[in-house]
Amino acid sequence: MSAFADTPQQEVCKGVGAATGSGCASSVSLTKVIRNVINIFSIVVGIVAVIMIIISGFKFVTAGGDTGNVTSARQTLLYAVVGIVVTALSQFIVWFVLNNID
């Protein structure tokens, strides 16, 4: 009679199953992965856009009436707002496509 040892993966799954009652039987769908990636990307872009808006405000305050600095501040603000709008639209488009695929 020969006894086969469980593989390390099976041992871990048994431990996880004992702790949580679910084991390793996880079904992660492609749509969930895409949603998670898009959500993380949107959060990062949102944080960067807010930082750029703050930088733009700082540029406005420190411009001192110089038209070149004011123009630079306005462009920074414009690009930050466009970034937020594009991110929001991409979130909506991905949400729409993923909901119509399922």
Residue 102, pLDDT score: 58
Predicted local distance difference test score (pLDDT) of residue 82: 93
Residues of the chain by 3-state class (helix, strand, coil), percent to 5: 80, 0, 20
Per-residue pLDDT of the chain (102 residues; tens, 9 = 90+): 555 556 776 677 677 666 666 656 555 677 788 888 888 988 898 899 999 999 999 999 998 888 999 999 999 999 999 989 988 898 888 888 888 875
pTM for this prediction? 0.63
Q: What is the dihedral of CA 11, 12, 18, 23, to 10 degrees?
A: -110
Domain boundaries, the chain: 28-101
